């Protein structure tokens, strides 16, 4: 998507992710944007104004009370001479200041003086992101109309720390900004999509359940990407720890049967994308009481019965969506198994991925997929799940358009 002739004001905050902003500047300019940069004092501890200025091909602004800057541009003009503001990395401190309208430095003053769309890309330690104070500030900012991208889950700069707090990748930020600015292309406007995501939990008794390693990241990202293309999206999510995506109606379920019911309720739809790792089996008897070790004679036998196959049901439904997409997580014979699934489940596309443990993909942040259709197989390079989702959403929009043309 293009940012042609857009004027972007990038406010770089004081976090280690500031180094990624150098790449962000390039990505924005690549798309045709003019980038002007403000750096907080903290940001200058991590990267230099010289580096940011060289990439932006412009002077970098740092001081609220610089006579030179005020004479040159002034914070009010900085606030207004732009089409959008990006705050990256948005530290907990910067967001707290924004939420409270503090204007003690150039970044704060410009944000307070501006009426332009603001996109915030937070980055901080997971404990800081999870803290009630940060949660409050995020809610306040969202109510004020500020848009967010990320943070993502993953490794932190601190050794041996992982969790939600990584800044989104520059490409994803540039993409989100494009869609905010020109509304992006909306090839799916007026279309309905239903997406399943995450694992299902199948109870054994009130405290135990059968589950799998799905994180829901790929399915949630697809729901968000379809919404970005204008679709009216219902996301049916099994139990996950990631947040509901923006701009999507999310229904939370636990079991395969509840997921099936929620999918039925979301039909009719134009597109169905079944990403959930639905448990194939549940226990025949769902004990209402906790199974006690003492009372049983040896380990209890769990008798399993088959769960409804949601994808198959949708693929053969009387209200079958025009485009039905399934996923196939395989550990061997990836393509052959996916091709068999295409026919068996009545899908138009199977997105196959290799989940051999050594590839470490299931539950991970990246994905390498193969697109299997009646026309053949396309192998896509490995990329972040957001990027895969954006590309898939575009593919689905194209396929739906050609299906409708007949």
Q: What is the 3-state secondary structure (H, E, C) of 6-46?
A: CEEEEEECCCCCHHHHHHHHHHHHHCCCEEEEEECCCHHHH
**Residue 280 binds ligand CTP (CB under 6 A):** yes
Instruction: Decide whether 17 or 392 has the Cβ nearer to ligand CTP.
Output: 392
Give the residue with the Cβ less far from ligand CTP, 81 or 280. Answer: 280
Beta bridge partners, 122, equal 90
Question: Per CB under 6 A, does 222 bind ligand CTP?
Answer: no
Helix (H) or strand (E) holding 395: helix 385-405
Is the CB of 21 or the CB of 349 nearer to ligand CTP?
349
> Rounded to whole angstroms, how far apart are CA atoms 135 and 147?
15
What are φ and ψ of residue 111, in 5° steps?
A: -60, -40
Query: Is 212 among the residues known to form the active site?
Result: yes
Whether the CB-CB separation of 88 and 167 falls below 8 Å is answered with: yes
* Nearer to ligand CTP (CB atom), residue 39 or residue 194: 194
Query: Does residue 324 interact with ligand CTP by CB under 6 A?
Result: no
328 contributes a contact to ligand CTP by CB under 6 A: yes
The residue range among 201-209, 243-251, 325-333, 367-375 that interacts with ligand CTP, by the rule CB under 6 A, is: 325-333
Whole-angstrom distance, CA of residue 149 vs CA of residue 143: 15
Q: Which is nearer to ligand CTP, 140 or 337 (CB)?
A: 337
Q: Counting contacts by CB under 6 A, is residue 348 touching ligand CTP?
A: no
Length of the chain measured in residues: 406
Region from 183-191, 245-253, 306-314, 355-363 binding ligand CTP, contact rule CB under 6 A: 306-314
Would you count residue 256 as binding ligand CTP (CB under 6 A)? yes
CA distance 333 to 337: 6
- 309 counts as binding ligand CTP under rule CB under 6 A: yes
Quick note: the x/- pattern for ligand CTP over 131-160, rule CB under 6 A, is ------------------------------
Mark the segment that binds ligand CTP (CB under 6 A) among 114-122, 136-144, 160-168, 326-334: 326-334
The CA distance from 209 to 217, in Å, is 21
Which of these ranges, 41-49, 174-182, 272-280, 373-381, lies near ligand CTP under the rule CB under 6 A?
A: 272-280
**Binding stretches for ligand CTP (CB under 6 A):** 196, 256, 274-276, 278, 280, 307, 309-311, 326-329, 341
Which residues does the annotation mark as catalytic? 212
């Amino acid at each position: 998507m293009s940012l042609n002739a857009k004027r972007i004001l990038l406010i770089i905050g004081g976090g280690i992710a500031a180094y990624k902003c150098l790449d962000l500047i390039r990505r924005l300019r690549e798309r045709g944007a003019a980038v002007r940069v403000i750096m907080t004092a903290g940001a200058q501890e991590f990267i230099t104004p010289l580096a940011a200025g060289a990439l932006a091909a412009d002077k970098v602004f740092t001081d609220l009370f610089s006579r030179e800057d005020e004479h040159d541009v002034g914070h009010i003009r900085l606030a207004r001479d732009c089409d959008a503001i990006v705050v990256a990395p948005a530290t907990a401190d910067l967001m707290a200041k924004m939420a409270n309208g503090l204007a003690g430095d150039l970044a704060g003053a410009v944000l307070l003086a501006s009426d332009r769309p603001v996109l915030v890309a937070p980055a901080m330690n997971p404990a800081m992101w999870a803290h009630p104070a940060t949660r409050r500030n995020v809610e306040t900012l969202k109510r004020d109309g500020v848009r967010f991208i990320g943070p993502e889950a993953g490794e932190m700069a601190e050794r041996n720390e992982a969790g939600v707090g990584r800044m989104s990748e520059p490409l994803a930020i540039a993409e989100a900004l494009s869609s905010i600015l020109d509304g992006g292309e909306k090839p799916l406007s007026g279309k309905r999509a239903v997406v399943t995501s995450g694992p299902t939990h199948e109870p054994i008794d009130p405290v135990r359940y059968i589950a799998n390693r799905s994180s829901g990241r790929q399915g949630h990202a697809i729901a968000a990407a379809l919404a970005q293309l204008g679709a009216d999206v219902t996301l049916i999510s099994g139990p996950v720890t990631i947040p509901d995506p923006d701009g999507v109606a999310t229904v939370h379920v636990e079991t395969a049967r509840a997921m099936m019911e929620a999918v039925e309720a979301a039909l009719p739809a134009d597109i169905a994308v079944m990403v959930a790792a639905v448990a194939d089996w549940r226990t025949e008897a769902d004990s209402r009481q906790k199974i006690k070790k003492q009372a049983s004679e040896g380990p209890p036998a769990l008798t399993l019965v088959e769960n409804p196959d949601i994808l198959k049901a949708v693929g053969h439904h009387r209200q079958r969506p025009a485009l039905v997409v399934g996923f196939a997580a395989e550990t061997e014979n990836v393509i052959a198994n996916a091709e068999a699934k295409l026919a068996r489940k009545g899908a138009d596309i199977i997105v196959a991925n290799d989940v051999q443990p050594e590839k470490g993909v299931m539950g991970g942040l990246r994905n390498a997929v193969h697109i299997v259709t009646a026309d053949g197989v396309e192998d896509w390079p490995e990329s972040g799940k957001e990027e895969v989702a954006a590309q898939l959403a575009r593919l689905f929009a194209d396929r739906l358009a050609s299906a409708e043309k007949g």
